[in-house]
Amino acid sequence: MESSSSSSTDRITWRASVLTRHLNEPSSSSSPRPLESSICMQFSPPELSEKFDFDVIEMRKLMDGHNFQDRDWLFGLMIQSKLFCPKDSGGKVFVSPDYNQSMEQQREMTMKRIAYMLDRGVFQGWLTGRGVETEMQKFAFFEVIGIYDHSLAVKLGVHFFLWGGAIQFFGTKRHHVKWLKDTENYSIKGCFAMSELGHGSNVRGIETITTYDSATGEFVINTPCESAQKYWIGGAAKLNINGSNQGVHAFIAQIRDADGNICPNIRIADCGHKIGLNGVDNGRIWFDNVRVPRENLLNSVADVSPDGQYMSAIKDPDQRFAAFLAPLTSGRVTIAVSAIYSSKISLAIALRYSLTRRAFSVSPNEPEVLLLDYPSHQRRLLPLLAKTSNLIGLGLEVAHIVEFLNETSCCSEIFLSYLCYRYAMSFAANYLKRIYVKRTPEANKTIHVVSSSFKATFTWHNMRTLQECREACGGQGLKTENRVGHMKGEYDVQSTFEGDNNVLMQQVSKALLGEYIASQRRKKPFKGLGLEHMNDPCPVIPATLTSSTLRSRQFQTDIFCLRERDLLNRFAAEVSQHQAQGERKEYAFILSYQLAEDLGRAFSERAIFQAFIESEVTLSSGPEKSMLSLLRSMYALITLEEDASFLRYGYLSTDNASSVRKEVTKLCGELRPHALSLVSSFGIPDAFLSPIAFNWIEANSWSSVQH
């Protein structure tokens, strides 16, 4: 016991003497000695080492497609105002919403930002303007707003595209005169309440009932049960005339007075906190026999006379229902496009970070390797860039480094794949906007099918891109200020609003089947929806695929068309077989869902590829065209690699599939030196990215904490 006690005392005495010496040690200077800079990682701007072999401004014009000066003007307008929360970090100013604010504060800031832009004429002509130029400018402004904050864009989308769009397209002159100008000026604030607790994508199934009272000349709107409550705000109801259900129609109903108080016979509740979009005040609405004037029926498709007679030039209920839904495609168009810009933000941040962040050395005393010089990192992001640019030589030891990197991982290649997706989908988004703003009644089916497929494809891909970029940024991707991680919660909703993606893709396959059946019955060639290739002889894929063949535009076109052609034939045959066994057409379609999914994907990816080619052929020979050729090949081959249909149905042999994979790796190496110039072509100002895209060491320094 004594020995143990003595030992403890000795240890205490020794520790006390060490602490005393430490505390009393004379300091050579008033400030702490700096760490040796030679052993610390230093930030070096990638612009000092990366190449720019093509004109990024010209490439940006090709990708954005329109209204470049308008976009830059609105970017500048946001950066100038404190409402957009400018913050200095690492010697740069960044603008981004303060997501640490409460839900109520975020909503308040959304309305203040809208008021700021309203006062400066941003929304002028959004509802009262006419012509292609006005609509394209509206798209450009809306895309810029979405780059800053998804909540702000969604709030404006509900007001202008859904409420305002309903007045424009469902209404007639009396509604336009009364409502459009006041909506554009925000004298009236509107919402669009179609979704219900019990019915979202199935609009035909909504349960809200509207009955016409001919004695008073009013419609009576009622929520008959809890599942009929309007959910997520978003005014549609089934119309009963003399006891007959005439289907879904749209009405204007006032839910608040001029002072913001809830109107009689209306009940409203908040949807509560969400995983994202908390700057949007989503709500629920119950109608307790609310009366609205007969004139509040939006009557472009159908009307009711004062004595209660139902009138419509479209006698077929299905065609009438389709006419009601046609104007809603604007929502899918804007969602598809915003998904592209969300992916561009995350890729620009993740790729710029990977061009300055290093990890692991090839051998002792050698510099650590840049993340983007790992083949696996290239494969993570650069194909996505193409769908949306070989290792950098590191002196005389490049061969050893390549061998080391190939053995360790393949993450850079994935990064490069994501980069390529962005280019392809940008061109497809521009095509979608063009056919929408130049729409005619005859083009409604094409717009519906293309917007449905692109909305599903782009938003699914956006969530995949955000997750990949979040992981590629490591721990820094978790910080809200670095945007990428937080954007996952903000954009997740895109997969289900304005139509569940899986349901939309089934509609695409159903439309293609309809075209197939019509062509067979009429014994006439296919026309429309890009199916004209079905009239040509079936493409033949070479037994052996060389590198030059794989990069050939003809081969790429042939195999995309072969897949779509074969899957449409298979789908039609399977549905027909189920019907021959006694199943109803609709159920036969449901039973064939796997082929329907494959066909929907094949249609969408062929249409995207076609839009890419149409953009590429507009360029004369030069560095931009050469770069697009590389990106097009990356998009085509990564699609072949990722879709099991090409192997499942025998369009590629296993040997050829292996050749495709090797070619993708080669393309990643060829695109790697151009990664910075490719993301710079996105045209997103530095202020709308994040600190880790630039001097992330300075942004995390002790001085930044004190500041």
Q: What is the pLDDT of residues 217-249, one digit of tens each?
A: 999 999 999 999 999 874 344 466 767 777 888
The predicted pLDDT at position 379 comes to 81
CA 348 to CA 358: how far, in whole Å?
A: 17
Are the C-beta atoms of 312 and 324 separated by less than 8 Å? no
Q: How many CB atoms lie within 10 A of CB 298?
A: 24
CA 688 to CA 76: how far, in whole Å?
A: 11
Per the annotation, the verdict on 597 as an active-site residue is no
pLDDT digits (tens, 9 = 90+) for 413-457: 666 666 677 788 899 999 999 999 998 888 888 999 999 999 999
Buried-state track 163-191, b at ≥16 Cβ within 10 A, e below 16: bbbbbbbbbeeebeebbbeebbeeebebb
* Residue 512 pLDDT grade (very low, low, confident, very high; cuts 50, 70, 90): very high
Q: How many CB atoms lie within 10 A of CB 52?
A: 14
Q: Examine the pLDDT at 637 and tell me if it is beyond 50.
A: yes
Give the H or E element holding residue 77: helix 68-80
Report, as an integer, the average pLDDT of 644-655: 96
Q: Examine the pLDDT at 393 and tell me if it is beyond 60.
A: no
CA 291 to CA 222: how far, in whole Å?
A: 9
Give the H or E element holding residue 401: helix 398-408
- 470-474-475 Cα angle (round to 5): 105
Of 89-103, 330-344, 388-402, 480-494, least confident by mean pLDDT is: 388-402
The predicted pLDDT at position 34 comes to 44
Q: How many CB atoms lie within 10 A of CB 516?
A: 18
Report, as an integer, the average pLDDT of 173-180: 96
Buried-state track 237-261, b at ≥16 Cβ within 10 A, e below 16: bbbbbeeeebebbbbbbebeeeeee
518: which 2 tokens?
A: 């019509």
Report, as an integer, the average pLDDT of 307-318: 89
137: which 2 tokens?
A: 């400018």
The reported pTM is 0.88
Instruction: List the domain boundaries for the chain.
Output: 56-185, 194-317, 327-404+424-688
The predicted pLDDT at position 634 comes to 94
Q: Examine the pLDDT at 458 and tell me if it is beyond 80.
A: yes
Q: What is the average pLDDT value for the chain, to the nearest integer?
A: 88
More confident: 381 or 35: 381
* Residue 318 pLDDT grade (very low, low, confident, very high; cuts 50, 70, 90): confident
- 661-667-673 Cα angle (round to 5): 145
The predicted pLDDT at position 444 comes to 86
Give the H or E element holding residue 13: helix 2-24
The predicted pLDDT at position 17 comes to 65
Q: Examine the pLDDT at 188 and tell me if it is beyond 70.
A: yes
HEC assignment per residue over 404-442: HHHHHCCCEHHHHHCCCHHHHHHHHHHHHHHHHHCCCHH
Buried-state track 602-641, b at ≥16 Cβ within 10 A, e below 16: bbbbbbbbbbbbebbeebeeebbeebbebbbbbbbbbbbb
The DSSP bridge pattern shows strands 218-222 and 209-213 to be antiparallel
Rounded (10°) CA dihedral 118, 119, 120, 125 = 50
Rounded (10°) CA dihedral 142, 147, 148, 150 = 70
* Residue 62 pLDDT grade (very low, low, confident, very high; cuts 50, 70, 90): very high
Maximum Cα–Cα distance across the chain: 110
Report, as an integer, the average pLDDT of 180-207: 91
Radius of gyration of the chain (CA): 29
The residue assigned the tokens 């590389």 is: 630
CA 686 to CA 46: how far, in whole Å?
A: 14
| DSSP secondary structure code for residue 142 in this structure | H
* Residue 398 pLDDT grade (very low, low, confident, very high; cuts 50, 70, 90): very low
3-state secondary structure of 46: helix
Calculate what percentage of the chain has a pLDDT beyond 70. Answer: 88
| Residue 516: partners with Cβ closer than 8 Å, 6 or more residues away | 568, 569, 572
The residue assigned the tokens 């549609």 is: 236
Are the C-beta atoms of 613 and 553 separated by less than 8 Å? yes
The predicted pLDDT at position 27 comes to 47
Are the C-beta atoms of 393 and 424 separated by less than 8 Å? no
* Residue 132 pLDDT grade (very low, low, confident, very high; cuts 50, 70, 90): very high
The predicted pLDDT at position 13 comes to 67
CA 687 to CA 195: how far, in whole Å?
A: 37
CA atoms within 13 A of residue 266's CA, in its CB half-sphere: 18
- 442-606-338 Cα angle (round to 5): 75
Are the C-beta atoms of 574 and 598 separated by less than 8 Å? no
What are phi and psi for residue 356, nearest 5 degrees?
-130, -20
Helices first, then strands: H and E counts in the chain: 28, 14
| DSSP secondary structure code for residue 297 in this structure | B
The DSSP bridge pattern shows strands 266-270 and 283-287 to be antiparallel
Are the C-beta atoms of 670 and 629 separated by less than 8 Å? no
495: which 2 tokens?
A: 């997969």
CA atoms within 13 A of residue 218's CA, in its CB half-sphere: 11
The residue assigned the tokens 């389709």 is: 322
The predicted pLDDT at position 568 comes to 98
CA 64 to CA 72: how far, in whole Å?
A: 12
Beta strands in 67-206 (DSSP E): 86-89, 92-95
Beta strands in 610-657 (DSSP E): none
CA 97 to CA 148: how far, in whole Å?
A: 8
Name the class of domain 56-185: mainly alpha
The predicted pLDDT at position 623 comes to 95
234 is in an annotated binding site: yes
* Residue 2 pLDDT grade (very low, low, confident, very high; cuts 50, 70, 90): very low
Length of the chain: 707
**Is the domain covering 327-404+424-688 a CATH 1.10.287.3510 domain?**
no
Q: Select from 45, 635, 614 the least CA-distant residue to 352.
A: 45
Give the H or E element holding residue 16: helix 2-24
The predicted pLDDT at position 410 comes to 47
CA 201 to CA 506: how far, in whole Å?
A: 12
Are the C-beta atoms of 674 and 624 separated by less than 8 Å? no
The DSSP bridge pattern shows strands 209-213 and 236-241 to be parallel
Catalytic residue among 50, 468, 490, 498: 498
Q: Examine the pLDDT at 206 and tell me if it is beyond 70.
A: yes
Are the C-beta atoms of 637 and 670 separated by less than 8 Å? no
Q: What is the CATH code for 194-317?
A: 2.40.110.10
The predicted pLDDT at position 5 comes to 52
CA 6 to CA 359: how far, in whole Å?
A: 50
The predicted pLDDT at position 443 comes to 87
* Residue 401 pLDDT grade (very low, low, confident, very high; cuts 50, 70, 90): very low
The predicted pLDDT at position 362 comes to 80
Q: How many CB atoms lie within 10 A of CB 438?
A: 11
CA 242 to CA 342: how far, in whole Å?
A: 49
